[in-house]
Structure 1
C-alpha cells in the first residue's frame, strides 16, 4: 500500500488583468477536442470508470472534458466538473499558498524558525545513520518555514521513510494517509487528537538530515498547517476556508465530505496488476468521517471546478472575479524555486526524469522549457490517486485531471500531449 500511495511523486515531478472566472453550468460541454477524445478513450478502454479534465487558456473559463461515471456501477453519478475526488498531495500547493498569505501579511517569513510557533522544534536531533538505528546528534540549523514548504526540513514520510525511524512514525501515528474506512484501524497505532499534538509528536523524533541539506519528500506541509494556525490565530482548516475557498467561490472543497454529497464522491480504486479493485466506495468512504484534524499535505477532497478556480487565481497573479488573494509579486515568489542554495537536489532531479526542476510553495517548479510542452516556471503537483494539476504562467495555461486510482498510469503524459500537442514531453 505504501507503493500505491507514494507512486505519484514521480508523476508530480514531471510537471511543474482582473479575472472573468465565469462559472460553468453543469450542462455546459466543451466542443470535441484532444482532451475530450482523451477522456472518452480512457473510459472506453476501461482504464478508469470516470474522468474529468479541465484546461484553461488565458483569463477565460476552462474547457471541460468528462466521461464515464464516478464508480463502476451503472447507477453511479456521471463524472462531471462537480464530481468529488480525493486529491491527496494536491492539497500541498493549497497549504503552501495559505502560508504565503501570512508571509505577505508579515506574520511569517520564509527563513523564520518554526520553533517561533511550535517551541517543541527548538532543539532538534539528526540521525547519524538513518538505515542503522536512532543514534542522533544535535542539529546545527533550525527548521524554517522555507524548509517545510520545500521538503528540506529533514522530516520523514511514512511512504518514503524506512528502518527504525519508520517504526517510530508508525508508533506515534505520524501517518497522514486516509485510504478507506476498512483500513483505518490498521493505518496507525494511534492517531494524534489534534494538529498541535501531531506537530509536537513529530518534534520528538530525529531528522533524516540537517535542515536545508537535502530535498526529501516529507510531512513538512502537514507540520506547516500547525505553523499557519499559530501564526494566524485561526484553526488551519478555517484559515484555508476563509482566506482561499470562500473568496474564490470554491464551494466543493472538503476536509470531510457531507453525507448529502456522498453521491458525488468517486470510488477510489487500486490498480493491482491488470485488475482494478475498489478500495473506498464513495457511499461509505473514510472521507465521510471527520479526521482528528486536517492534514495540510494530503487531506482534501475537491471538484475539478474548484481546483481550476485555485489555478485560475494563480495564473492571474493572485486575483479572480475581482477578489484578490495575493499580490502578483507574492504569487511569483510562491511559484519560484524556493530551495536553499546549498540543498542537495539529487533526489528531486532523479525523480524528475532528468528535467530541471526546483520547488516552490508546496509544488514543483520547472526551471527550463520542456520541448513542445509546459514552459519554464510551470508550477504544480499530483495526488496519490492519480489526480494532478499545473499552472504554466509562460503560456497562460492551467490544467487539472481527476481520476481516483492508485497505481502508475500514463495519464499525465497523455494530458500534456493533448494540451500542448502530440510531440510535447
Structure 2
C-alpha cells in the first residue's frame, strides 16, 4: 500500500468514526466518504455567487459547506467593499447580528447542563425585577390596558422567544415607542441615522438594560406565543449574575477561546479593522454604504454586549462553532460544551401548544436561540442575521453550511432563497446513491 492510499484509508476511517459519533446511518456513511473526495462539492453555490458578485450586485460574499469532521470548503469571491480592494475571504469580518443568538443560547445551555441554571427556572430567581410582570391586554395595543402575567418567565421562554418580551424591530404602536424611548433597541447598525434603519440610542450597561426592560409590559402571556424578542439579550444579564463574570468575558472563556474562535468579538480591535467588510443598505437595486469597515461603529465599545445581535465574526470562526455543535460539543480534541447542552439546545424547546409562525417555514420548532427543523429537515439547527448571514448545522448528518454577505434588509432581494436552493442541490448531489 502506498503512502497516499494509506492516508486515504485513514481519512475514510476517521470520517466513519466521526460520522458514527454524529449518529449517521450506515447507508449514509459511504456516500459521505465518497463526498469527501470530491474536488468541488459546491458547483451550484459557486455559480450562484458568481452571478451575484460584481458591478450592480454585491462587492463580495463567502459561502461554505463542511462535511463531518472536515475543514469546510469555502467559496469566496469579490472584495470586502466596493471601495475596499481587499479580497473577501473566510477570515473577513462580518456583522452576524442574530446569529449571536445561538451562541448565547448554547452558553446558557452549558450552565443548565452544569446545574447552575434550570431550563424551566423562573427568571425572577436570578433577576428579581421580573417577579411581577404586567402584560398587554391586546398584542401591540395600549400600554395602559394591562393584566398580571399568569405565570413567570422562564429560561426556556427567553431562549425560544416565548417570554412575552417585546422587540423594537417587531412591535408596533405605543409599546415600540416606549422601548425606543427607553433605549431598549436591538443592537447597533451605523453612526448614521438612516430612515427606517435607525432604532434609537441603546441604553448603556447590560444591568441598566435588564432593569429597564423589566418595567416594560409584556406583549403576550409567557409561554403562550412565539414572538421574536430581546430574550437572548436578557439572557446575557442572567449569565452575568449567575457566573459573576461580564457576559462578553464569559463567552470568550467558555466558548470562543476553547473552540479556537480567534476572530469573534462584540468590539473589533482597531488592528483588525482592515478585515471588516462594509455593510450596505439595499434601496431597490442600489446598495448604499451603511457602515464602512474602516470607520465602523463596531470599532467602538458597544453600549452593552448584545446577546441577541451584537457579534462580529468570520466564516472560518462561525464554522468552528457549528462544527463543535455537530461533534456534540467537542472540537480539536477539546470539550467546549457539555454534550447534554448541545443535545438539548439543538432540539425543539417550544412550550406545549406553541408553534412557529408560518413565515419561518415549517414544520419546525425552536431550540436555544435557533430554528429546529422537523420532517424532511429534522435535525437542522441554526439561524440568520439581519445583514444577510446564515449559519446552519445538520445534527443528523453532521453537515454545516453558511453564507456571509452584508446588506440590510436581507429580504430586499432573492439572494438568500436562491442560495438555499443551490445549497440543497449541491448537498443532494453529494448524498445521492451512485
How would you bin the TM-score normalised by the shorter chain? Answer: 0.7 to 0.9
Can you list the C-alpha shifts for 1:249-270, whole angstroms capped at 9, x where unaligned?
Answer: 1011010111111111110001
1:349 to 348, 354, 357: 357
Task: Tell me the residue number matched to 2:425.
Answer: 421
2:115 to 106, 114, 117: 106
- In the TM superposition, residue 188 of structure 1 has moved relative to its aligned partner by 5.7
Task: Tell me the residue number matched to 1:179.
Answer: 189
* Contact kept in structure 1, 2:280 and 2:406, CA below 8 Å: yes
SS at match of 1:41: helix
SS at match of 2:204: coil
1:306-325 pair list within 5 angstroms: 306-325=317-336
- In the TM superposition, residue 272 of structure 1 has moved relative to its aligned partner by 0.6
Number of aligned positions between the proteins: 389
Q: Supply the distance in 1 between the matched residues of 2:297 and 2:140 (Cα, whole angstroms).
A: 33
- In the TM superposition, residue 190 of structure 1 has moved relative to its aligned partner by 5.0
1:7-46 pair list within 5 angstroms: 33-44=43-54, 46=56
Can you list the C-alpha shifts for 1:287-342, whole angstroms capped at 9, x where unaligned?
Answer: 11111210000000100000000000011111000111223332121110000003
Q: Supply the distance in 1 between the matched residues of 2:140 and 2:230 (Cα, whole angstroms).
A: 19
1:328 to 308, 323, 339: 339
Of stretches 86-95 and 388-397 in structure 1, the one that deviates more from structure 2 is 388-397
- In the TM superposition, residue 420 of structure 1 has moved relative to its aligned partner by 2.9
- Determine if the alignment matches structure 1 residue 145 to structure 2 residue 155: yes
2:63 to 41, 49, 53: 53
After superposition, the CA RMSD in angstroms is 2.1
Q: Supply the distance in 1 between the matched residues of 2:233 and 2:161 (Cα, whole angstroms).
A: 11
SS at match of 1:149: helix
Which structure has the bigger radius of gyration? Answer: 2
**Structure 1 runs not aligned, ≥5 long:** 1-16, 20-28, 370-374
- In the TM superposition, residue 422 of structure 1 has moved relative to its aligned partner by 6.8
Q: Supply the distance in 2 between the matched residues of 1:31 and 1:162 (Cα, whole angstroms).
A: 44
- In the TM superposition, residue 206 of structure 1 has moved relative to its aligned partner by 0.8
From the superposition, tell whether residues 44 and 31 of structure 1 become closer, same or farther in structure 2 (CA, over 3 Å): farther
SS at match of 2:290: strand
SS at match of 2:119: coil
1:26-425 pair list within 5 angstroms: 33-44=43-54, 46-73=56-83, 75-134=84-143, 135-183=145-193, 187=198, 190-343=201-354, 345=355, 348-353=356-361, 355-369=362-376, 375-407=377-409, 408=411, 409-421=413-425
Q: Supply the distance in 1 between the matched residues of 2:332 and 2:121 (Cα, whole angstroms).
A: 33
- In the TM superposition, residue 210 of structure 1 has moved relative to its aligned partner by 0.6
- In the TM superposition, residue 36 of structure 1 has moved relative to its aligned partner by 2.5
Q: Supply the distance in 1 between the matched residues of 2:200 and 2:63 (Cα, whole angstroms).
A: 38
Can you list the C-alpha shifts for 1:99-142, whole angstroms capped at 9, x where unaligned?
Answer: 01101110011100011111100110011124441121111100
**Structure 2 runs not aligned, ≥5 long:** 1-16, 20-38, 429-434
Q: Supply the distance in 1 between the matched residues of 2:82 and 2:271 (Cα, whole angstroms).
A: 20
